[in-house]
């Protein structure tokens, strides 16, 4: 598991039931706007079980007719008047829910189970200049909530599952983790014809089934203890004294298993899990000689589920054969990708060659990585908050006209009609990689981004155009 980014993936998450993740085909009439029937035979068979129930990712998201959208306004944060629209809509017959459609410039979508076209005309009159559309749906929130309760009552006792309501699709989602044929068959038997969809992975891509192995190639398991130690940690012992210290640091109380330190070292993997997904399993210890790296392969044995974001520890101690270790300094991590932001203690550096029989590290040769945490640099495609300063590296090989995509919107500056234009004030800041590090701030009312380098600011405005490619 990795910690959830502090940047929200949907700017309106606190007031929405769900966030739009795809563009649906415009309907012919608002009264009939709805996703395709989830039991349509054209939907893919998720588990080869002859089921008509679709995968959630294949169910289209609801949108209004294309002509109801304009090129402006463009909403980039939470500046749209969502609560005013909700208060108005709540007084109208057939109001079900509303959400923000980031695929349509952040406009508000208001779902009605009746009289959607009439509501659209009223919206245009009541909220002139506001980006808001009405859509007709063939479901009600009360009906979806009843269906979700049925799913929990009828399937919950049979096997673990996750369930939610996706109002942007008008459907109840059922997360099975792994799309095992027998589980899909149960859902098909109980809920065929209902507005539901399945989430999960193909059984061929799931972690193997079975218990925790006691050993693998070049390693053997010494301790597997839930709740012991700290999450996002690693460590190593190479002699009886360091073994005793590591045992104490983790907080283990049982008798230490025997280790032959002439031919083995002990490595601690301080794994992490969410309290709703405790069933971790250590599947392997990988020695990557090319990267001089030792890391674990730790899986959620139940397959992917919606896990809570609380970080709980699980301690794995393994004895690793010295002959398998890199010859020379090496690093230890929980996985191949390295520490996540905010957890630099996960990486342990060993500045000694412990592959030799009985070798020990001298004081100061086992420590954290002083290069972590790495400096934060924003990436294009991120969700950003208004009035917060972010560092960003802008590649200027093709000029500075296009800044990138933020909050699902492309940002463009007015620049002179000069090929590959870069402001003179920025030229001295261009590095060998043909990029400039700028400080950028999103402003609202009206929306714009201020990008500053060398004391010079360039203003970028939201654009409905797709940025051209850069050779």
Residue 424 host element (H or E)? helix 424-427
Give the pLDDT of residue 9: 29
Q: Please tell me the distance from the alpha carbon of residue 137 to that of residue 134, in angstroms, as a whole number.
A: 10
Q: What percent of the chain has pLDDT over 70?
A: 89
Phi and psi at residue 83, in whole multiples of 5°?
-70, -35
For range 421-430, the mean pLDDT = 96
Residue 445 has what pLDDT?
82
Residue in 369, 363, 358, 365 with CA at minimum distance from that of residue 238: 358
User: Would you say residue 364 has pLDDT above 60?
Assistant: yes
Instruction: Provide DSSP, 63-102.
Output: ---GGG--S-----SS-S-HHHHHHHHTTSTTEEEEEEEG
Which pLDDT does position 33 carry in this prediction? 38
Say whether pLDDT at 335 is over 60.
yes
For the four alpha carbons of 352, 353, 354 and 359, in that order, the dihedral sign comes to negative
| pLDDT tens-place string over residues 107-159 | 999 999 999 999 999 999 999 999 999 999 999 999 999 999 999 999 999 99
Residue 27 has pLDDT above 80, yes or no: no
Give the mean pLDDT of 75-89.
Answer: 96
Instruction: Tell me: pLDDT of 428 over 50.
Output: yes
Work out the number of other CB atoms within 10 angstroms of the CB of residue 198. 24
Query: DSSP string covering 188-205, please?
Result: HHHHTTSSEEEEEE-GGG
Mean pLDDT, to the nearest integer, of 9-33?
Answer: 31
Note the pLDDT tens digit of each residue in 160-206.
Answer: 888 999 999 999 999 998 899 999 999 999 999 999 999 999 998 88
Average pLDDT rounded to a whole number, residues 347-371: 97
Q: Where in 238-303 does DSSP place strands (E)?
A: 264-273, 280-288, 293-300
Classify residue 364 by its DSSP letter: T
Whose tokens are 């007709």? That residue is 136
Distance CA 401, CA 411 (A): 9
CA gap 247, 119 in Å, rounded: 67
pLDDT of residue 257: 98
Q: What percent of the chain has pLDDT over 90?
A: 78
Reduced to 3 states (helix: H, G, I; strand: E, B; else coil), residue 145 is helix
Tell me whether residue 16 is exposed, middle or buried, using C-beta atoms within 10 angstroms of its C-beta: 0 to 12, 13 to 18, 19 or more: middle
| Longest alpha-carbon distance in the chain | 82
Nearest CA to 12 out of 164, 135, 127, 168 is that of: 168
What confidence tens digit (pLDDT) does each residue in 384-403 have? Answer: 999 999 999 999 999 999 99
- Give the chain's length: 471
Cα distance between residue 137 and residue 90, in whole Å: 16
């Amino acid at each position: 598991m990795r910690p959830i980014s502090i940047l929200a993936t949907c700017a309106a998450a606190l007031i929405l039931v769900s966030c739009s993740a795809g563009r649906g085909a415009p309907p012919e009439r608002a009264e009939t706007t709805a996703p395709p029937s989830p039991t349509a035979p054209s939907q893919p068979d998720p588990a080869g079980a002859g089921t008509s129930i679709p995968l959630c990712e294949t169910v289209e998201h609801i949108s209004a007719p294309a002509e109801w959208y304009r090129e402006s306004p463009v909403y980039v944060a939470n500046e749209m008047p969502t609560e005013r629209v909700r208060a108005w809509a709540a007084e109208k017959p057939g109001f079900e829910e509303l959400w923000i459609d980031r695929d349509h410039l952040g406009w508000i979508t208001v779902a009605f189970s009746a009289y959607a076209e009439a509501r659209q005309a009223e919206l245009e009159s009541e909220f002139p200049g506001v980006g808001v559309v009405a859509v007709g749906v063939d479901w009600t929130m009360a009906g979806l909530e009843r269906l979700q309760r049925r799913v929990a009552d009828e399937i919950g006792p049979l096997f673990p599952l996750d369930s939610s309501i996706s109002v942007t699709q008008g459907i109840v989602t059922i997360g099975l983790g792994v799309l095992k044929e027998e589980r899909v068959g149960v859902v098909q038997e109980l809920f065929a014809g209902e507005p539901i969809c399945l989430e999960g992975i193909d059984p061929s891509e799931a972690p193997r089934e079975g218990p925790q192995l006691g050993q693998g190639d070049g390693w053997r398991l010494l301790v597997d203890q839930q709740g012991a130690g700290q999450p996002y940690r690693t460590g190593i012992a190479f002699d009886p004294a360091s073994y005793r210290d590591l045992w104490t640091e983790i907080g283990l109380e049982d008798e230490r298993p025997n280790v032959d330190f002439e031919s083995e070292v002990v490595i601690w993997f301080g794994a992490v899990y969410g309290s709703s997904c405790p069933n971790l399993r250590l599947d392997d210890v990988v020695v990557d000689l090319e990267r001089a790296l030792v890391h674990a392969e730790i899986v959620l044995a139940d397959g992917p589920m919606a896990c809570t974001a609380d970080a709980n520890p699980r301690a794995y101690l393994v004895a690793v054969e010295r002959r398998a270790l890199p010859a020379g300094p090496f690093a230890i991590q929980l996985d191949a990708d390295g520490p996540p932001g905010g957890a630099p203690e996960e990486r342990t550096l060993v500045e000694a060659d412990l592959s030799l029989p009985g070798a020990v590290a001298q004081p100061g040769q086992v420590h954290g990585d002083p290069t972590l945490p790495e400096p934060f640099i924003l990436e294009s495609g991120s969700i950003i908050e208004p009035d917060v300063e972010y560092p960003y590296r802008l590649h200027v090989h093709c000029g500075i006209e296009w800044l990138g995509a933020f909050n699902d919107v492309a940002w463009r500056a007015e620049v002179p009609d000069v090929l590959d234009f870069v402001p003179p004030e920025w030229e001295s800041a261009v590095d060998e990689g043909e990029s400039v590090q700028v400080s950028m701030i999103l402003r609202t009312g009206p929306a714009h981004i201020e990008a500053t380098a060398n004391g010079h600011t360039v203003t970028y405005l939201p654009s409905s155009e797709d940025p051209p490619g850069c050779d």
